Structure 1
Amino acid sequence: MKPKIAISVGDLNGVGIEIALKSHETISKICTPVYCINHTMLAQAAKLLDVTLPEDLELHEVEGEFAIEPGVVSKESGLYSYNSFMDAIALCETKKADAVVTMPIHKEAWKLADLHFVGHTDLLRKHFNKEAIMMLGCPEMFVALFTEHIPLKEVASSIKYKKLKQFFLDLHNSIEKEKIAVLGLNPHAGDNGVLGNEELIITKAIKSANKKIGFEQFSGPVVPDIAFTPSFRKNFNYYVAMYHDQGLAPLKALHFDESVNISLNLPIIRTSVDHGTAFDIAYKNKANTLSYLNGIKSALSFINN
């Protein structure tokens, strides 16, 4: 029996459903995808894409219907993407699927639908009451984010010793053996307090976490502007970034097409594409499938482990 993977179809006004259908034949060789979308919405999407639906599609019927408008932000598409995701989670919780792989949602569409979450990871965190960790990347480089979708002005005040230490320990539980470089917050990693003192907190949390783990898994704080240079990456391919763009700007510059998004420290397996809804190319048959294919393979690696 091949593993079953629930596919949350994301915002149907974007590229997610195109990517899923393009990739179906390929991924069906290694897993059984269960698409969280109803027949009416799938037929509408297929007509817009001018494609014939494969006969072996397995669907989980998601409640709701609306008119797909390629490239448009709407509360209807936002609500449907939310329902698709929640149904995919439920399939895992009831052991009807082994993992969830998500297509991109649009945060503004969720807001229009009066959904008070800033994204998939935020919803997972609140649904399971667990401190989900967002990690993105590919085998060449993974970046775990200490803070995610918060304003930059709030990052420094979010760096608290106990919270950061627990983050390191939770990350260790998911990645037990790999060496992990921890980025400093400030330029030059603070220059010993000249450019900021957040690195004192980071250092304390690293030392305490390593002591509890029993070996020097976490290193740093590392000067951020040298952390992703070729010479440094010879020794590390796992990183902790203090804020979103600090880690994801270099990751996407180096590995945009192949990167995936992985949610760690949860009772279910969830991976995702590492890109947005790409409204500008929605239903134009231009979407790249590599991130999705890697997301499927990543989910399978967690299942097999």
Structure 2
Amino acid sequence: MSLPPAPLALSLGDPAGIGPELACAAWAARAEHGLPPFLVTHGAGLLREAAARRGLDVPVARIAAPEDAAQVFATALPVLGDADLAYRPGEPDEDGARLALASLTEATALAVSGAAAAVVTGPIAKSELAKIGFAHPGQTEFMAASCGMAPEEAVMMLAGPQLRTVPLTVHCPLSEVPGRITMELILRRVRVVDGAMRRDFALAAPRIALCGLNPHAGENGRMGREEIEVIAPAIAALRAEGIEATGPHPADSLFAPHARGSYDVAVAMYHDQALVPLKALDFDAGVNMTLGLPIIRTSPDHGTAFAIAGTGAANPGATIAAIRMAAEAAVRRAQPSTSSG
């Protein structure tokens, strides 16, 4: 892998979850997976304890500036920042939430300033962060605000070796989904997806498949009219702009093996329509990537897993995949000429 122009910044996630141990596991596997230099923001002592609990030999080195990460990465896990806690896996609390927020804030600031080529976020506990006044629905919205953007300008994509999916609507009750699906929303989000596929994945003409909302994509209006009245007109408008959008496709067949080769990313109408197939296919290598931002942000597509934190059972595959995807996107952004071919 070519090296990004700066180190990546990893946030801890909730320190009682599996984020810290997986950051250590990723560093321990850096040579095997060809990972570029990265640093972790805050939690040096906690990381040492997490590595020891997992049985990993991970020296941790505090650094004074992000540019120092490359010098120490070969022999130690670089950590920037002094905030820390004792390691208490499986015991989330408000002190842990404060450390998680400090780590997230610092890592994001590094990416916004350009001192980090990308940010890779560890899994957080939204309920714990809410207790300390975190007002955002999740890290995606926090990222958008940190970049001076409205929440709706950030688009969540789930990506694995076999599939990429984007939920059109995300964290809302299923009963609200039909009312939220508008032509404007489809146009705005698919334009972001198209641009990101070109910029960060070097696809010259991204193929974007849109799911229907209803069973059998509405079956010509017999099972709902959203496909006829909203989704199909939006697809026609996108195609008129030169975006290679197709659909609406029945979601029950779009993710079958014979269909997945016909598109580069699928846009689903709601959260589970996008996440169920991705997690079924690529759970241990799934990455959450935020599209539409001036910075690169990825995250492993799993939660804090408090129940197994500190046991050594957590698989680092998704964290490693998130680091690789962020690094590859950073290299492409540093070489704009490659994004058109």
TM-score normalised by L of structure 1: 0.92
Structure 1 residues 66, 21: CA separation in 2 closer, same or farther (over 3 Å shift)? closer
The whole-number CA distance in structure 1 between the counterparts of 2:304 and 2:296 is 22
Measured after TM superposition, the shift of residue 193 of structure 1 is: 2.0
The whole-number CA distance in structure 2 between the counterparts of 1:44 and 1:282 is 12
Measured after TM superposition, the shift of residue 174 of structure 1 is: 0.9
* 2:221 is the alignment partner of 1:193: yes
Matches within 5 A, 1:4-153: 4-27=7-30, 29-46=34-51, 48-49=53-54, 51-54=56-59, 56-61=76-81, 63=83, 65-128=84-147, 129-130=149-150, 131-153=153-175
Matches within 5 A, 1:154-193: 154-176=176-198, 177-193=205-221
Measured after TM superposition, the shift of residue 205 of structure 1 is: 1.1
Correspondence for 1:207 among 218, 236, 240: 236
| Map of 1:234 onto structure 2 | 261
1:73/1:108 contact within 8 Å kept? no
Extract unaligned runs of 5+ from structure 2: 60-74, 199-204, 333-341
* 2:289 is the alignment partner of 1:267: no
Structure 1 residues 257, 89: CA separation in 2 closer, same or farther (over 3 Å shift)? same
1:168/1:206 contact within 8 Å kept? no
Q: Which deviates further from its counterpart, 235-244 or 11-20?
A: 235-244
Query: SS at 1:219's partner residue?
Result: strand
Measured after TM superposition, the shift of residue 2 of structure 1 is: 4.2
The whole-number CA distance in structure 1 between the counterparts of 2:232 and 2:76 is 53
What amino acid sits opposite 1:265 in the alignment?
G
The whole-number CA distance in structure 2 between the counterparts of 1:263 and 1:237 is 16
Correspondence for 1:248 among 275, 279, 299: 275
The whole-number CA distance in structure 1 between the counterparts of 2:76 and 2:52 is 18
Query: SS at 1:163's partner residue?
Result: helix
Question: In percent, how many aligned pairs have the same letter?
Answer: 35
* RMSD, aligned α-carbons: 1.9
Query: SS at 1:257's partner residue?
Result: helix
Query: SS at 2:284's partner residue?
Result: coil
1:76/1:113 contact within 8 Å kept? no
The whole-number CA distance in structure 2 between the counterparts of 1:252 and 1:266 is 24
Encode CA deviations 1:197-242: one digit per residue, 9 max, x unaligned: 2212111111111211x25x11111111111112222312410011
The whole-number CA distance in structure 2 between the counterparts of 1:154 and 1:164 is 16
Measured after TM superposition, the shift of residue 88 of structure 1 is: 0.4
Extract unaligned runs of 5+ from structure 1: none
TM-score normalised by L of structure 2: 0.83
Measured after TM superposition, the shift of residue 66 of structure 1 is: 4.2
Query: SS at 2:17's partner residue?
Result: coil
The whole-number CA distance in structure 2 between the counterparts of 1:154 and 1:78 is 30
What amino acid sits opposite 1:56 in the alignment?
A
Encode CA deviations 1:103-158: one digit per residue, 9 max, x unaligned: 11111111222211221112112332141110012232100121111121111111
Structure 1 residues 234, 172: CA separation in 2 closer, same or farther (over 3 Å shift)? closer
The whole-number CA distance in structure 1 between the counterparts of 2:82 and 2:240 is 48
Encode CA deviations 1:33-71: one digit per residue, 9 max, x unaligned: 1111143433454455565432522111154x4444321
1:74/1:112 contact within 8 Å kept? no
Matches within 5 A, 1:210-221: 210-212=239-241, 214-215=242-243, 217-221=244-248
Number of matched residues? Answer: 302
